[in-house]
Amino acid sequence: SDVGSQKERVVTKEEWLEKWEMGNIGFHKEQRHPLLQKYLDVLLNGRSGLRIFFPLCGKAVEMKWLADMGHSVVGVEISEQAVKEFFSEHSLPYCEEPVPEISGAKMFQSTSGNISLYCCSIYDLSSSIVGKFDAVWDRGALVAVNPGDRQCYASLMINLVEKNSTYLLVTVSYDPNKHKGPPFYVPESEIKSLFG
Ligand code: SAH
């Protein structure tokens, strides 16, 4: 497939923050993602009390849903506004603390302790800071990463998961010459080479 037109595209941190400020967040859905509902059993694979990671989490409502099931949810999101909206829209009390290993980063944690959202760039995280995960819900994440950063993103994700983890990835399929993205078109062949 010809993805040449998207290969060089860069969306800056400032542009993402501006999308949140302007309310230009068509990617956010109030309803739980139908594919997560459909494949929940695959994600959980009979396990309970999982550590579940939401890369580039926005204010995804599925975080609350999985936390209410007894799992422990960790997200990372560059927009502090998004993180604060998540807690306020679900009426969840939270506390906020700096992350000593990452300059400028903050961690927002629900008072009940089962939802922790890191406000920083995902590229600042490592397993020594956030630990490893049993499951990943990757929707609007790989496809939102700048095409030139995909390799770095995939290597990090591989590092952040336990051996027996499950990873659900949602992508979008369309003609990349007709839309500049994000979401970007990530061909299946590239997904295979990124994640092995
Ligand atoms: N996964 C969410 C949001 C998808 S949109 C959902 O399903 O609704 C992508 C999100 O990634 C935006 O909220 C944007 O602010 C955030 N983002 C972009 N680059 C990032 C980075 N390098 N680190 C962390 N978050 C980032």
Residue 57 counted as domain residue: yes
Q: Answer yes or no: is 137 a known binding residue.
A: no
11 found inside a domain: no
Is there a domain that residue 1 lies in?
A: no
**Which one has a higher pLDDT value, 107 or 4?**
107
Q: What is the pLDDT of residue 2?
A: 60
**What are 79's two structure tokens?**
């927009």
* Mean per-residue pLDDT, 8-35: 98
- The residue whose C-alpha atom lies closest to atom 10 belonging to ligand 1 is 56
Classify residue 106: in a domain, yes or no.
Answer: yes
Annotated ligand binding at 19? The verdict is yes
Residue 23 annotated as binding? Answer: yes
Q: pLDDT tens digit string along 139-181?
A: 999 999 999 999 999 999 999 999 999 999 999 999 999 999 9
Q: Which domain holds residue 169?
A: 33-195
Q: Domain for residue 64, yes or no?
A: yes
Give residue 141's pLDDT: 98
Mean pLDDT computed over every residue of the chain: 97
Across 92-100, average pLDDT? 98
The number of the ligand 1 atom at minimal distance from the alpha carbon of 19 is 15
Token pair for residue 23? 């309310």
- Indicate whether residue 27 lines ligand 1 (CB < 6 A): yes
Asked whether residue 116 carries a pLDDT value surpassing 90, the answer given is: yes
DSSP character at residue 135: E
Is the Cα torsion angle 146, 147, 153, 158 positive or negative in sign? positive
Shortest-distance Cα residue to atom 16 of ligand 1 = 56
CA distance 114 to 130: 14
Total tally of structural domains belonging to the chain:
1
Rounded distance between C-alpha atoms, residue 78 and residue 120, angstroms: 5
pTM greater than the 0.85 cutoff: yes
Cβ of 78 less than 6 Å from ligand 1: yes
- Tell me what pLDDT residue 5 has: 80
Nearest alpha carbon to residue 54 among 86, 25, 10: 86
Domain harbouring 89, CATH code: 3.40.50.150
Q: Is residue 2 part of a domain?
A: no
152 occurs within a structural domain: yes
The verdict on residue 67 lying in a domain is yes
For the segment 79-89, the average pLDDT, to the nearest whole number, is: 98
Q: Ligand 1 pocket test: pick from 10, 16, 66 the residue with the most ligand atoms within 8 Å of its Cβ.
A: 16
Looking at residue 119, what is its pLDDT?
98
- Tokens representing 97 are 């603390």
CB atoms within 10 A of CB 12: 9
Mean pLDDT of 39-56: 98
Q: Is 25 annotated as a binding residue?
A: yes
